[in-house]
Amino acid sequence: MVKQINLAYGTGQLNLNLPEKYKILESTAEERGKIDWQQKIKASFSNPVDSPTLASLVQQEKPEKIVIIINDITRPVPYNIVLKPMLEELEEAGIVDENISLLIATGMHRPMTPKEVEETVGKDIIDRYHWENHKCEEEMVYAGKLSEGIPLYVNPLAMEADLLCAIGVIAPHYMAGYSGGRKSLLPGVCGRETIETHHSLMRLPEAKTANLAGNKFHQTAVEAAKMANLKFISNVIVDSKNEPVDLVVGHYLKAWEKGVELCRKNSVIKIDKLADAVIVSTGGFPKDINMYQAQKALENASYCVKEGAPILLIAECKESLGEDTFEKWLLEAEKPEYLEEKIKKVFELGGHKAFAIARVARKNPLYLYSSMKRGIVQETFMDPVIDINEFVSQLISAEDLVYIIPHGANTVPLYTD
């Protein structure tokens, strides 16, 4: 018996006929369709977590320069839920448009084009407010030294703000435990040296998906947010389908911590058996815009499969590998072991994701269905797949336990034996 499975691929989808016995791993938020977002937004902004309302903050601090850190194209955000209400409340508090700036947290990603900003944030917003891309190579403001000896260099626009706010998405993250909150500041709007030194903490065993305990990557990001005086956040919580299921507003840490608890319920899926094979989609664009982003889904898939079992990643990667250093590390490595040794000697941002792929490739044979050329795919320690049904018939037996993860970037399988 077969059933049709629809998996996101770029901005479209693949319609696959796969055996009915394959188990789909995704959370189900039964109340999603019943959410009254207008009421939830009103309640959240009227009663922020461990913080005065925005209107009260404006009244107390009388800020002349307000900066709101927003996400770049690689982090899809429902701006009508998290940003528009923030702007509306500031307007009602008497803040004029000229006193508000939007700073796009690119980290070390490429800048967004004006067209991309218009399409994602909305023409009505970018026409009203000053906005700019963070560019990590430009001159930053030194804010002090973090734990682990990390120098904190921050975008001058953020440091000059009288009131610094941020919007974002809380979802599982393969180094920080969870995205959102403090990550808007670090790495979002920090200098290259800060980001690279901070990311070197990913080599520590505690820096992994859905884990905060002892996670220095997370802890130093919290320090950075406090040092840079990040004051107020609005973060949406998404489930494994990347659909918004809740909202937290308020204190940069306390509101985010509440959001993390909600995220755990919607994105972490407990399993009692490891699979003989896994088929994982990132969840489509922008999660599969390039391999640099798609790697996160591969990491999550590795948590639910036996060692030596195949993993098939479905990711369009229309922008190919997506980052120069990432590409350089992959192209110079003949075997995964090379990168595992290299990262012990030198850490380069971009190379860290090549290492993350190599770490999985050491344990499992990897396959990729994408739009990339065959030679490039093979440089990622993966074998290209042209026909998914042929892959299934050749590499998976009828007795195998197979997991399908439709939204791999936001789904974290947790194995408990």
List active site positions: 109, 173
In this structure, what are the phi and psi dihedrals at residue 295, rounded to the nearest 5 degrees? -55, -30
Q: Which residues contact 34 (CB under 8 A, 6 or more apart)?
A: none
Task: Give the whole-angstrom CA distance, residue 127 versus residue 102.
Answer: 12
CA nearest 54: which of 83, 89, 28, 96?
A: 89
> String of b and e for 333-342 (b: at least 16 CB within 10 Å)?
beebeebeeb
* CA gap 294, 405 in Å, rounded: 13
Distance CA 6, CA 183 (A): 32
